[in-house]
Structure 1
């Protein structure tokens, strides 16, 4: 990518999109195109086509999506599948119609079967049943992968697909009704600390293991792939993660130690755990010259600082 190329970062205010935007800025890219959701609704084909016709982006990072944790997926399955399918369909069609040079599609590790050998290799896609709690979202993301593959095969486009593990960091969603596990834990623990509460209730058993990657590390991987590789060289899609996981109970204690919370945790075992374990095989991305640089401890420290600054300065994060 030339430094003055027109690069559209779709979803630039979100967790992943904002990290990609920061990475591109720091790398010297000067012609970044962005639109907030109220300016451009990617679910509406007329708006998407009008934007592409007007601005003619050359490269696209498709980080826009409806995302959320277990409870959000349970409550809004129709929106999770419909909104994500609509965004992907509209952007890929417009990209092809206007001859975009290259596109990177962000998926999710939830695309893999519920009962999956560990660590999870890219080849395990579609080898078993999905985890029911997020099946609509996962199906939409699988469709995104297959759309990229289909366009590449039929039209010789260059659309990459990246499947990250659980992402966290600055600009994460801390709303307890829709947040993923790590930001939800940060908020619960810090509020308990600040309010002098000696007990924090957590969902499930605490036994499931999850892998976590800082959003800035994911952004680094995405820009690396866009700068250095074609979809043909990558061969399908690629996992992005650390290759290491941690039990939710241990994660909660790690966050508490970093935040200075001395209370105890109780587990609501009537709530779902999700899959028992989900750790990605990252041999492919490592062979492509990229490896995660930020430890989980350092990443949590950075995220807590960001959360506390936002809470202190705006109060908006607690809504």
Structure 2
């Protein structure tokens, strides 16, 4: 991509989109366009087509999505499947019609089969049953990956897909109703510390294993792939390392400085037992993550204290 290429980042106010914008600016790209959800509703086809016809972006990072943890996915499954289907279909179709040179679509590791062999290779997609607690979101994201594949096959579009692992970092969502596990634990431990609570409740057994990637590492990977990868197979983006949720909770507890105890709520679901990505393909291309989990959590907690705390 040339420094003055027109680049559209869909979802620029979210954790992922804002990290991509930061990285683009750091790399010297000067012609970045974006719209807030109030300015452009990506679920409305006519509005999306009008935007692409007017702006004519050359490159698109499709990071806009409705996301959330187990609770949100269970409670708002219709919203998750509808909004994500509409966003990706409208943006990908408009990108094709307006002649976009290249588009990167972001999936999620939670859309792989629940009982996929570990670590999960790219070819595992669509080979088994999905995790029921996020099935609606998974079906929508799988459709986005398939859209990119078939637009490439039929129309020759240079549309690629990436499959990030669990993400965290600055501008994360700390709302306990809709957040993922890592930011939720940061908030729980911080509030328990400041309010003098004797215990923090952890959902489930704490035994499921998860992999976590700092969002700025993902942004680096997205630019790397946009400039160096072109194929229909989606690529995993992760660290290749995981840990138990219970271990994660103890790590966050130490970083926050909470001195109470952790209590497991066994009535709550665990979700998928393990979800570790095989990142050998991405490593083979020359990219690997830079941020350690401990340092990433420290940075995220510092941001939460200074900027991101819920009122």
TM class by shorter-chain length?
A: over 0.9
Which residue in the other structure is 1:308 paired with? 305
Which residue in the other structure is 2:291 paired with? 294
Q: How many residues align?
A: 311
SS for the counterpart of 2:148 is: helix
> TM-score, normalising length from structure 2?
0.99
Structure 1 window deviating more from structure 2 (192-201 vs 159-168): it is 192-201
Q: Distance in 2 between matches of 1:227 and 1:238?
A: 14
Q: Distance in 2 between matches of 1:245 and 1:263?
A: 25
Aligned-pair CA distance for 1:223: 0.3
SS for the counterpart of 1:201 is: strand
Q: Distance in 1 between matches of 2:275 and 2:11?
A: 26
> TM-score, normalising length from structure 1?
0.96
Q: Does residue 1:93 correspond to 2:97, yes or no? A: no
Q: Does residue 1:154 correspond to 2:143, yes or no? A: no
**Which residue of 265, 284, 292 maps to 2:262?**
265
Q: Does residue 1:206 correspond to 2:206, yes or no? A: yes
Which residue in the other structure is 2:111 paired with? 111
RMSD across aligned positions (CA):
0.8
Which residue in the other structure is 1:176 paired with? 176
**Which residue of 237, 247, 251 maps to 1:254?**
251
Structure 2 gaps, min length 5: none
Which residue in the other structure is 2:225 paired with? 225
Aligned-pair CA distance for 1:278: 0.5
Which residue in the other structure is 1:190 paired with? 190
Aligned-pair CA distance for 1:288: 1.1
Which residue in the other structure is 1:314 paired with? none
Q: Distance in 2 between matches of 1:2 and 1:27?
A: 11
Structure 1 gaps, min length 5: 312-316
Q: Distance in 2 between matches of 1:162 and 1:262?
A: 39
Aligned-pair CA distance for 1:229: 2.2
Aligned-pair CA distance for 1:173: 0.5
Q: 1:277-314: CA deviations, max 9, x gaps?
A: 11000001101110011100000000000000015xxx
Which residue in the other structure is 2:57 paired with? 57
Which residue in the other structure is 1:22 paired with? 22
Q: 1:49-70: CA deviations, max 9, x gaps?
A: 1111111000000000000000
Aligned-pair CA distance for 1:259: 1.1
Q: Distance in 2 between matches of 1:101 and 1:78?
A: 33
SS for the counterpart of 2:82 is: helix
Q: Distance in 1 between matches of 2:217 and 2:194?
A: 30
Q: 1:97-142: CA deviations, max 9, x gaps?
A: 0000000000000111111111000011111100000001000010
Q: Distance in 2 between matches of 1:18 and 1:58?
A: 19
Q: 1:14-42: CA deviations, max 9, x gaps?
A: 01001000000000000000110000010
Q: Distance in 1 between matches of 2:111 and 2:256?
A: 33
Q: Distance in 1 between matches of 2:292 and 2:283?
A: 16
Q: Distance in 2 between matches of 1:34 and 1:289?
A: 30
Q: 1:179-215: CA deviations, max 9, x gaps?
A: 0000000000011111111200111111111000000
